């Protein structure tokens, strides 16, 4: 059963009691919260995700609970609790969804050391995987979201989950966070895309989440092969420019975009080296999505030919 097959009331009842188990391959998360508006947002953005029984095993148990006391009336807040631990200060109550998304990222970074975790978006088309490593503000989320709306399979916005032999990257497909101007950009780019509510004035500015296309969710257990690496660099109004990277520079940039490279040690070094030896690397400077797509098409054609 998928979440969207449940009524809004059923999702709320499950979340406010034993919890609702959601398959977010490669993990399963149990979510518990009495917040009706959060249940509705989860149902909308995670409509295509598989539901498991709350009593089944879950890799992580997450609760989002209102903070009581005076704050309940003066400044309503919500607390993120993972497996009984509260790693963050409370958020404003109406920001429960972004707190859930960011909190789940935090859990993943701190626990998922069976793989090399790259700070990268990942998409795939026709069996060819494209790694988009980048720091915040580079446009990787918007670029990955736009590609997912044009037939590419979306694997991840935040994590490139790479096997230690460097041969495969696992999906971790979750709603794509759009920030500030990118919200309007994606609404114009694909009017049919499902975008959740805008959360103003978060620590990252205005944030809204784009629902992952159903086809990508349904293939959430299928790894992809990495065939090319592109470091996106969005510059408003810039003409498209593709610059090849040498292996040494690409290695340093890719390792520098890892969450756990130092934690996993030699295995991380060998994984990055394996990717760099096999895949061409480029920097893509772009000012609009259409020109970026055309440039990526050309890069992937060259990677396949090589």
Q: Are residues 92 and 159 in the same domain?
A: no
Q: Are residues 37 and 81 in the same domain?
A: yes
Q: Are residues 169 and 20 in the same domain?
A: no
Q: Are residues 159 and 189 in the same domain?
A: yes
CA separation for the pair 32, 90 (Å, rounded): 16
Q: Are residues 125 and 107 in the same domain?
A: no
Tell me, rounded to whole angstroms, the distance of Cα 99 from its chain centroid.
14
Contacts of 249 (CB under 8 A, 6+ apart): 281
pLDDT exceeding 70 applies to what percent of the chain? Answer: 98
Quick: pLDDT tens for 9-52: 999 999 999 999 999 999 999 999 999 999 999 999 999 999 99
Question: What number is the average pLDDT over the span 217-230?
Answer: 96
With a cut of 70, say whether residue 73 has pLDDT above it. no
| Residues found in the chain | 306
Last residue of a domain, one of 90, 111, 132: 111
CA separation for the pair 128, 301 (Å, rounded): 10
Q: Are strands 159-162 and 169-170 parallel, antiparallel or unpaired?
A: antiparallel
Alpha-carbon torsion (37, 39, 42, 48), positive or negative: negative
Q: Are residues 167 and 32 in the same domain?
A: no
Q: Are residues 103 and 248 in the same domain?
A: no
Could you say which DSSP state residue 105 is in?
Answer: H
Cα 207-30-79 angle, rounded to 5 deg: 55
Q: Which tokens belong to 288?
A: 């609009």
Contacts of 184 (CB under 8 A, 6+ apart): none
Q: Are residues 126 and 93 in the same domain?
A: no
Reduced to 3 states (helix: H, G, I; strand: E, B; else coil), residue 38 is: helix
Last residue of a domain, one of 63, 85, 111: 111
With a cut of 70, say whether residue 198 has pLDDT above it. yes
Question: What number is the average pLDDT over the span 93-109?
Answer: 96
Helix (H) or strand (E) holding 121: strand 116-125
With a cut of 70, say whether residue 72 has pLDDT above it. no
CA separation for the pair 229, 283 (Å, rounded): 9
CA separation for the pair 39, 34 (Å, rounded): 8
Question: What number is the average pLDDT over the span 281-298?
Answer: 96
CA separation for the pair 92, 62 (Å, rounded): 17
Could you say which DSSP state residue 224 is in?
Answer: B
Closest CA to 82 of 57, 60, 51: 60
Quick: pLDDT tens for 130-173: 999 988 778 899 999 999 999 999 999 999 999 999 889 999 99
* Model pLDDT, residue 166: 86
Q: Are residues 164 and 301 in the same domain?
A: yes
Q: Are residues 178 and 100 in the same domain?
A: no
Last residue of a domain, one of 88, 111, 134: 111
User: For the stretch 126-152, what's the b/e string if a residue is b when 16 or more beta carbons lie within 10 angstroms of its beta carbon?
Assistant: eebbbbbbbeeebbbbbbbbbbbbeeb
Q: Are residues 107 and 120 in the same domain?
A: no
Q: Are residues 12 and 76 in the same domain?
A: yes
Closest CA to 297 of 275, 277, 276, 282: 282
Number of compact structural domains in the chain: 2
Domain hosting residue 250, numbered range: 116-305
Confidence tier at 108 by pLDDT (50, 70, 90): very high
């Amino acid at each position: 059963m998928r979440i969207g097959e449940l009524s809004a009331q059923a999702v709320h009842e499950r979340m406010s009691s034993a919890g609702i188990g959601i398959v977010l391959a490669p993990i399963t998360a149990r979510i518990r919260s009495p917040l009706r508006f959060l249940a509705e947002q989860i149902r909308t953005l995670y409509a295509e995700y598989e539901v498991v029984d709350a009593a089944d095993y879950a890799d992580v148990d997450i609760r989002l609970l209102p903070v009581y006391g005076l704050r309940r009336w003066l400044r309503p807040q919500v607390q993120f609790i993972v497996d009984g631990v509260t790693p963050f200060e409370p958020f404003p109550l109406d920001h429960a969804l972004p707190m859930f998304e960011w909190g789940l990222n935090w859990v993943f970074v701190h626990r998922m050391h069976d793989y090399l975790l790259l700070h990268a978006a990942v998409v795939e088309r026709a069996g060819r995987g494209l790694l988009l490593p980048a720091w915040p503000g580079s446009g990787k989320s918007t670029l990955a979201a736009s590609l997912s709306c044009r037939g590419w399979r979306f694997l991840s916005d935040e994590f490139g989950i790479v096997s230690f032999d460097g041969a495969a990257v696992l999906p971790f497909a979750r709603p794509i966070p759009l920030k500030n101007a990118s919200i309007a950009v994606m609404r114009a780019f694909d009017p049919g895309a499902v975008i959740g509510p805008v959360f103003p004035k978060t620590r990252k500015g205005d944030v809204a989440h784009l629902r992952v296309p159903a086809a990508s969710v349904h293939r959430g257990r299928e790894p992809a092969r990495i065939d090319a690496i592109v470091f996106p660099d969005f510059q408003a109004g810039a003409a498209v420019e593709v610059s090849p990277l040498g292996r040494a520079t690409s290695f340093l940039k890719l390792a520098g975009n890892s969450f756990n490279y130092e934690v996993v040690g030699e295995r991380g070094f060998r994984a990055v080296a394996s990717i760099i030896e096999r895949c061409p690397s480029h920097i893509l400077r772009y000012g609009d999505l259409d020109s970026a797509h055309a440039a990526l098409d050309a890069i992937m054609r060259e990677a396949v030919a090589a």
